Structures are given as C-alpha cells and as structure tokens.
Amino acid sequence: MKLNILRVNLTRKTSKKQTIDDATVVKFIGGRGLGLKILYDELKPRTDPLSPDNKLIFMTGPTTGTAVPTGGRFHVVTKSPQTGGIADSNCGGDWGPELRFAGYDGIVVEGASKEPVYLWIHDGKVEFKDASKYWGKGVWDTEDGIRAELKDPEIKLASIGPAGENLVMYAAIINKKHRAAGRCGVGAVMGSKKLKSIAVRGKGKTPVADPEKLREAVREAQKIMKANSVTGEGLPTHGTAILVNVLNKHGAYPTRNFQTGVFPTADKTSGETITKTILTGKMPCWGCPIACGRVTKITTPPYQVDGEGPEYETTWSLGAMCGIDDLGAITKAHNICDDMGIDPISYGSTVACAMELYEKGRIPKEKLYGVELKFGNPQTIVELAWMTAYRLGIGDDLALGSKRLAEKYGAPDLAMHSKGLELPAYDPRGVQGHGLGYATSNRGGCHLRAYMIAPEILGIPEKIDPLKTEGKAKWVKTFQDLFAFVDSMGACKFATFALGAEHFAKLINPVAGWKLTADDVMKTGDRIYTLERMFINREGFGRKDDTLPKRLLKEPMPEGPIKGRVVELDKMLDDYYKVRGWTDGKPTPKTVKELGLA
C-alpha cells in the first residue's frame, strides 16, 4: 500500500506531493510509526524545536476513514519543546478521515511563515490563506470563522488557540472543538510556524484492497466490541471518569501534587456524578462505536458552560491533583483548555506544582493578581487557564510547565514529571508496573505508552497483582508495542480493551493488501518503539532519564490502602532493558539489526 504525503514549506509558501512506497509503509504502517520514521531520517539532532528547522507532521493510518471500528484517528509527530525529545500525540475527532478524503494521507510542515496563515486543503488543492484575523482567537471562534469564510459548514479543522501562538510549552492542537492532540507541546511547534489551522474537505474515498474481506473482519470486530462489557457497556454508559472512584478506593488517586493517593471527596467529581448532574449526551469520534466522549452543560453560575467533558484525566488534573472538588469549576476549566488549546494534564499538574511552591512560600504574591494559589481553591484552575494561554502574570511562569517552573523557584523535586512531561492520573506507588511504564515512556510521563492500569487494576486481559514487581517488564513491553501499532494504523487504543493483535492484523490486512500475523503486528510495534528510543537517545536521553520523581521513589505513601509503598523501579528497569534488548536505555546493535533499523 502506498501513502500520499503533502510536503508544505511555510517559509516559501510552496507545497508538493510525495509518495511513500509500500516497502516503507509495511515497516512503519502510518500514523505514529511513519511520522516518526520521516522525522528520524530528516531532522538533525539538537534542532531547536521552536525553530523553522523543526518539522511538524500530521499522519493518518491506513485504516483512518475506513469502516474499521474506531478508524478515525491521526497522529501528530514533531520534536517536543517541552521535553527536547520525541513529541507525538494521537487524536480522534473527525479531521483525520477528512484529510484522506481531501487526497492526502499525511502532511509534513516545514519552515515557518512570517505572518499567521492557515492551510486550506480541498480535493487535492492546497492554498495558503491569511489567518491574521484569527490570530489571538480561541479554537472555537477560529473553527466557526474559517467555516464561514470558506462558506462550508462541513470543513474539518485542526487548530491552535492562543496557547500555541504564545508558545506555551504544553499547547495542544484541537479538532472538532474538543478533541486534542494534547501532549508534549505539539501546539507550540505549530504556533512557532505561525500556522493557525489546517482546514480540510474532500469527496475522495479511502483505498481498500479487499472490501469483502474487510467487511468480514469489521463484522467480527464489531461483534466482539459490542459483547465486551468495557467497550460495549462501561465506556459508552459512564465515560472514562468512571475510573475516579476505582483509583481512589485503591488509594492510588494522585492528590495535591501526588502528596497522597486518597481524595476524600473524589465522588463529587466522578463519572457517576457527571452522569447524574451535568451529562446531556455522548459524543463519538469518527467511526467509533464506543462513544466515550461526554456532552455536558451547566446552567447555574458561576461556572456556566455548554461543551464537553470532563474526561478522567481532566477531572483528576483540575480536581484532586489541585485538591479541588468543584465539578463546575473543573468542567469550565476543561472547556477553556479546549478553546485555548492547552493540554489539561500538564496544565493541572503545573498548577498543582505551583500550589505546593506557594504553600512553601516560593511564589511571589504580586504575580498572582490577588488569586490565592492554594490547594482546593476552584477559582485558580479557571482563571489561570486564561492567564496561561495569554502568558499574563503567573501565567507566564505556568506556561513553562512544571519542570521548568519548579527549577525556576528552586524546588525541582516538586515537579511530578518524567523526562519533562507531567505524569497522569495514577499513582504508581500503588501500581508498580504502571510506574515502569511511566519511566520508560519515550515521550515522557505518559499512561498511554503502556496502560498497565488495564491488567493491574481493571483485570484486562487478565488480572495481575499491582503491588508486585516480578514479571512487569514483559507486560510493559507488550503494551508499548501493541499501542505503537494501533497508533500507527489509525485506530483507537480503547479498542484494545476488546481486541488483540490478531484482530488488528485481520482489520489492516484487507485494507492494505498485506498478510500480517499477530506476531508481525507486535514486531512492527517493537520496531516503532525502538526507533522512537533511538530518536531520544540521539537527543541525549538514556537510563538516567528512565526515572520518576523523587517523591514516588523515596517518599512512602502516607495513608490509605497503599500506605508505606514506593515505586521499586530499579528492580523492574533492569528486567525491562533485558526484555527489550537494550543496555542502559539504548537499543543494542543486535536489536537494531533484528528489527530492520540498521
């Protein structure tokens, strides 16, 4: 299967089509894998991520825009301004399929424009349009404005808000107003190129090699996903925030900057409470039968909002992480993050870090404009979202992210990150394998490289003891490899609650005309994960960076079911390197050769 890439040079305002041959596509698939391959081959090491020399890659997968269940996704790949390593972020919504309908499977954006522009890609044609009237505006006004300007309400857009324009370290790229390529500062890279939005529209079709075989495979996958109680019932009914009480009762719900794992009023911000009080509907991404998205509305002041969310990660990051249990404030702040184009995981964690710095007397009050930066103050997360997006007052410091913020105020140990990317909503002192996943994630503190919560807490595909360290390395590698494949093919990782490698092979083969087995799927994922590791090695990352905050390694959990526990990372890390065929965080020449990366 060949893929068609659009090469855009914003400095020269030129574009050209490039075809990626089948030999490359079958090795790296598309999405995360192919985006990474292009970046690895073309980007010089030590390139400044915010310079015109960085490349910003939008890549769909072969199954994006086909009948494959959850096949609506695309991936953004670039070098991260937040971490200095790989930035890659997966996104749903409806932009990915439309890009393919418009004639392109991916876009590589190079250079930088002197003035704000947006790209208009429609049925193969590419136009550079003036975005000056949208510069400074939120994503929502930008989407509405461009659709009105181009006189087509069905245009799909991937845009940045003021956060990306102002180079906030964790700025996101948003499509369909609420779906984010959220992490690692991909929005800041887009902002550095003065690229406000990419608008796409097309009437093309996505190629499928064997439509009849695909129909069979889709029928089978849909049946399995419907019968599965997580994808068929739990997620559609309750959304992801159903996990709030699960993690809290395990004592592993990070609270007040990971100072503890128990949040007494967690239920006030849980999926159950969202369903009972503010939920008005479900929102699926393109081609998704699960529909985990939440449509919500609040009509009572002071936090009136008509939008979406919060999801599990945001109800946590803007909630318990900051000691806040006001669902109205959390929902409002979640929606401001969507509109301003901010990663709410990193934002909430940075605010929590700032709260602990404030508690310890390190943040100057004059930068706060009268806002008390205390744990539990709901005003903070709402107001500081605007201030961060526009870099006002303390917002200018919060825009740095927790690592640089904590370093600036002389307390680096108070930033809860790995490799510079803030940790998400699970305290690994209670979920040991998940801690290994955080530490060995190539892009930094991430729960979606190896979602060890699935086996260690949820029992998917089987239950393993979260408090033990033995055997975790192999599980982490398996998840990392499978998820790398799924991120590359254009499907959603939530499908993995029901489907395994053999199902993904059955789905992609009739699309691409391949004959992959389940083992091929896993080996391809291994190849992609290893190339990512080679990318960050080249940028100076190694074993010293495969670590966790001191709090999680040295400070025992003070209370709750996992009282007294720390992450026993060293025990698991050596196992992990052995299982990966790496030494000190670097793939050995033998491993590189075996995976066809030499």
Partner 1 sequence: MRMPRVKICVFADLRDLLGFSVVDLDTQPESVRELIDTLSRRYNRRFRRLLIDRKTGDLKRFYKILVNGRDIDFLDRLDTRLKDGDELSFFSPAGGG
Give the footprint of partner 1 on this chain (CB under 8 A).
Answer: 229-231, 233-235, 237-243, 245-246, 249-251, 267, 270-272, 292, 311-313, 447-448, 451, 453-454, 458-460, 463, 465-467, 493-494, 497, 560-562
Which one, 340 or 448, has the nearer CB to partner 1?
Answer: 448
Q: Cβ–Cβ contacts within 10 Å for residue 280, how many?
A: 10
CB of 260 to partner 1, least distance (A): 13
CB of 38 to partner 1, least distance (A): 26
Backbone angles phi, psi at 109, to 5 degrees: -100, 125
Question: What six digits make up the tokens of 523?
Answer: 């080996």
CB of 466 to partner 1, least distance (A): 8
Question: What six digits make up the tokens of 174?
Answer: 């948003």
Using a CB cutoff of 8 Å and minimum separation of 24, what contacts does 290-295 make?
290/70, 290/225, 290/231, 290/235, 290/236, 290/492, 290/494, 290/495, 291/235, 291/236, 292/235, 292/236, 292/239, 292/240, 292/494, 293/178, 293/239, 294/239, 294/241
Q: State the DSSP string of 131-178.
A: -TTTTTS-HHHHHHHHHHHTT-TT-EEEE--HHHHTT-TTB-EEETTT
Which one, 166 or 480, has the nearer CB to partner 1?
Answer: 480
CB of 275 to partner 1, least distance (A): 8
CB of 387 to partner 1, least distance (A): 28
CB of 200 to partner 1, least distance (A): 26
Which one, 37 or 73, has the nearer CB to partner 1?
Answer: 73
Which one, 209 or 464, has the nearer CB to partner 1?
Answer: 464
H or E element in which residue 58 lies: strand 56-60
Which one, 215 or 463, has the nearer CB to partner 1?
Answer: 463
Beta bridge partner(s), residue 422: 417
The answer to whether 345 and 146 have CB atoms below 8 angstroms apart is: no
Cα–Cα distance for residue pair 159/164, rounded to 1 Å = 9
CB of 439 to partner 1, least distance (A): 19
CB of 524 to partner 1, least distance (A): 22
Which one, 189 or 489, has the nearer CB to partner 1?
Answer: 489
CB of 245 to partner 1, least distance (A): 5
The answer to whether 584 and 577 have CB atoms below 8 angstroms apart is: yes
Which one, 161 or 560, has the nearer CB to partner 1?
Answer: 560
Q: Which residue has the tokens 């940028």?
A: 539
Which one, 208 or 243, has the nearer CB to partner 1?
Answer: 243
Question: What six digits make up the tokens of 347?
Answer: 């934002």
Cα–Cα distance for residue pair 245/274, rounded to 1 Å = 12
Q: Which residue has the tokens 């590698």?
A: 477
SS3 for 313?
A: helix
Which one, 273 or 418, has the nearer CB to partner 1?
Answer: 273
Which one, 43 or 562, has the nearer CB to partner 1?
Answer: 562
Which one, 291 or 411, has the nearer CB to partner 1?
Answer: 291
Which one, 104 or 504, has the nearer CB to partner 1?
Answer: 504
Q: State the DSSP string of 408-466.
A: HTT-GGG--EETTEE--S--TTS-HHHHHHHHH-TTSS-SSSS-THIIIII-SSS---T
CB of 250 to partner 1, least distance (A): 6
Cα–Cα distance for residue pair 422/410, rounded to 1 Å = 18
CB of 240 to partner 1, least distance (A): 3
CB of 411 to partner 1, least distance (A): 30
Cα–Cα distance for residue pair 541/550, rounded to 1 Å = 18
Count of residues in the chain: 598
Cα–Cα distance for residue pair 90/110, rounded to 1 Å = 20
CB of 445 to partner 1, least distance (A): 14
Give the single-character DSSP code of 368: G
Cα–Cα distance for residue pair 132/142, rounded to 1 Å = 11
Helix extents (H) in 88-138: 95-101
Which one, 461 or 540, has the nearer CB to partner 1?
Answer: 461
HEC assignment per residue over 1-44: CCEEEEEEECCCCEEEEEEECHHHHHHHCCHHHHHHHHHHHHCC
